[in-house]
Amino acid sequence: MTDTILNLASSLGARARAALGRRNLVFVGLMGAGKSAVGRMVANQLGLPFVDTDVEIERVSRMSISELFAAYGEDEFRALETRVIKRLLRSGPRVVSTGGGAFINEKTRKQIERGGISLWLKADLDVLWERVNKRDHRPLLKTENPKQTLKDLMDKRYPIYELADLTIQSRDVRKEVIANEVLMAILEQSGIEKTGAEHSGKGDTA
């Protein structure tokens, strides 16, 4: 049974890789949505390199995200983020996980739109909060009421995330389930396979 599951996943990954062609796959969404964890798994199934833009920004700047925010402010950080993402997308195809504010920035969003397929990992507030409230490295959540801050970010950003090419609902299931839904969404977006599922195009699996 395990071998059968692995073979099916491998076959799905190969078909999705062919459908993706030379395009990048770019994960967008709020902190805690699972962009890096699912992105790594999808990249492995596609046989493509994976990169987390926050990690790359920290590498090139030799500073943490929190330190960059504190030292230069959000505007300067977003400008650096745009430059890093532009460079990464030019050397694709690859799977890219972006920070929560990247797709909100119009300049960065245009780079993503030109550079490949954008995929929004959408999650409900309770799911996000459960994932982020145990860690204190999120500069945007260092407020008196971080859960309300997270809710405010959702209200502000979700209408923009909806502009992504694909949407998958992030929820409390095994990451393999979400990863396979991502691969199927790539196939459906390319018109190769139609399953009747609601996670193709601008829809989601909610």
48-62, 80-94, 138-152, 173-187: the lowest-pLDDT one = 138-152
CB neighbours of residue 82 within 10 Å? 19
Residue 97's DSSP bridge partners are 27, 52
Residues 153-169, mean pLDDT to the nearest whole number: 96
Could you tell me the pTM of the whole model? 0.84
Would you state the pLDDT for residue 141? 64
Residues 6+ apart with CB under 8 A from 198: 204, 205
Residue 196: pLDDT band (50, 70, 90) is very low
Instruction: Tell me the pLDDT of the chain averaged across its residues.
Output: 85
Q: Rg of the chain's alpha carbons, rounded to an integer?
A: 17
Q: Are 84 and 53 in contact (CB under 8 A)?
A: yes
Assigned CATH for 2-189: 3.40.50.300
CA–CA gap between residue 184 and residue 167 (Å, rounded): 12
Indicate if the pLDDT at residue 83 is higher than 90.
Answer: yes
Q: Which residue ranges make up each domain of the chain?
A: 2-189
